[in-house]
Amino acid sequence: MVNAGRLTARTASGMRTPMAEKSASSRGPVAIVGGGLGGLHAARLLAAARVPFLLLEARSRLGGRILSEDGFDLGPAWFWPDMQPSIAALVGELGLAAFPQYAQGDVLAEQAPTLTSTLAPARYPGFGQMASSFRIAGGIAALVAALAKDLPEDRLRLGVTVTGAALRDEGGRLTLGGSGDAGTMVEARAVLFALPPRLIEKTIAFAPALSPDLRGMWRATPTWMAPHAKFLAVYAKPFWRGMGLCGTAQSSVGPMVEIHDASAVPEREGGAALFGFVGVPASARARVGETVLRQHCLAQFARLFGAQAETPLATRFKDWAADPFTATADDGEATGHPEAVRRPWFDAPWSARAVMAGSETAPVHPGYLEGALLAAEAAVARLDEGGALS
């Protein structure tokens, strides 16, 4: 029975989602599987509506694909306020400082060598080409920290892997894996899956089983950026800026294919950085190994930006294709951007008690940070419409 008082939860876009008010319920919490941006935003909406929830996250940290180390982004780095109003509004609402990607100066283009010669990198005027890409001071993980700060700590369980989901009359029952929790059951009134569909299909067993059609659709949905790896080098100063370079480079030599300035803001000693997307396919990366890849990436920075680039204060490398909480074997090769899927992500009987909230399931901007917010909002609204929140 819906309580007389109706609440409205503010979403990042300023849209208001009507929900039935509910205090602690005998029906159990809404279980949120995954503590990336989608799961955290869903938790925030449920908390605002006073709907009990329990967030289960496999890693020992929140954020999922969002990963900033010492303020340097090894996962997402940018959002585009001109096109993505929800993330722009959330960043503002949380009081985070955003700044444009550094784009003043020339860009470099490294061309493949010919049979007879190696070509020096070409230099072109940059025209501020990245000016509409925005970063967050302290790294995108500042967004994760700000979201988590307002959530009740005892509702966030880290290091807990969900391995099974069974449908019950009153909701769902999740089976947990992992050493300490193996076999533990969590009863929930509904389940919100905030992780890539392809990963769920591979790692979570459903009872009753999902239809082959649905499983095929999930498997065919690429997890955005899962096949990729980033290399980052930290320097005392952004010396390339003094050379009239913005830090952006394209390369058909490699191993990195696209390079950008990744310096921390506010500026600090030891806060300058360059990063690149490694263009070597995941299978070859696994064969070659991280040590060799790091050496070649550093040599490429030196080819492009001079000898100073050869001696960074530190380097960082993150291979997302090798991370089992992001990628599956199907993510070895980049297959393009996920398309917005118009079909439902669950069919009966699961559709009554389960919803998707991972970015790849968003109606617009799937795969992006913006998509994660929109997917979470749509998922919470769907649970409400189906009566699972009352």
Ligand X SMILES: Cc1cc2nc3c(=O)[nH]c(=O)nc-3n(C[C@H](O)[C@H](O)[C@H](O)COP(=O)(O)OP(=O)(O)OC[C@H]3O[C@@H](n4cnc5c(N)ncnc54)[C@H](O)[C@@H]3O)c2cc1C
Q: Should residue 35 be labelled a site residue for ligand X when binding is judged by CB under 6 A? A: yes
Using CB under 6 A, which of 367, 378, 383, 388 touches ligand X?
367
Using CB under 6 A, which of 36, 52, 255, 271 touches ligand X?
36
| Shortest Å, Cβ 219 to ligand X | 15
Using CB under 6 A, which of 77, 249, 356, 388 touches ligand X?
77
Q: SS3 sequence, the chain? A: CCCCCEEEEECCCCCEEEEECCCCCCCCCEEEECCEHHHHHHHHHHHHCCCCEEEEECCCCCECCCCEECCEECCCCCECCCCCHHHHHHHHHCCCCEEECCCCCEEEEECCCCCCCCCCCEEECCCCCCCCCEEECCCCHHHHHHHHHCCCHHHEEECCCEEEEEEECCEEEEEECCCCCCCCEEEECEEEECCCHHHHHHHCEEECCCCHHHHHHHHCCCCCCCCCEEEEEEECCCHHHHCCEEEEEEECCCCEEEEEECCCCCCCCCCEEEEEEECCCHHHHHHHCHHHHHHHHHHHHHHHHCHHHHCCCEEEEEEHHHCCCCCCHHHHCCCCCCCCCCCCCCCCCHHHCEEECCHHHCCCCCCCHHHHHHHHHHHHHHHHHCCCCC
Q: Which is nearer to ligand X, 75 or 271 (CB)?
A: 75
| Shortest Å, Cβ 173 to ligand X | 15
Residues in contact with ligand X, total (CB under 6 A)? Answer: 41
| Shortest Å, Cβ 225 to ligand X | 3
Stretch that binds ligand X, among 62-70, 90-98, 122-130, 150-158 (CB under 6 A): 62-70
- Site residues for ligand X, 188-207, by CB under 6 A, read 194-196, 199, 203-204
Using CB under 6 A, which of 165, 232, 372, 373 touches ligand X?
372
- Site residues for ligand X, 153-182, by CB under 6 A, read 161-162
Using CB under 6 A, which of 71, 76, 271, 276 touches ligand X?
76
| Shortest Å, Cβ 197 to ligand X | 10
Q: Should residue 227 be labelled a site residue for ligand X when binding is judged by CB under 6 A? A: no
- Site residues for ligand X, 302-321, by CB under 6 A, read 320
Q: Which is nearer to ligand X, 194 or 249 (CB)?
A: 194
Q: Should residue 374 be labelled a site residue for ligand X when binding is judged by CB under 6 A? A: no
| Shortest Å, Cβ 248 to ligand X | 14
Residues lying near ligand X in the complex (CB under 6 A): 33-39, 56-59, 64-66, 75-79, 161-162, 194-196, 199, 203-204, 224-225, 228, 230, 320, 325-326, 358-359, 367-369, 371-372
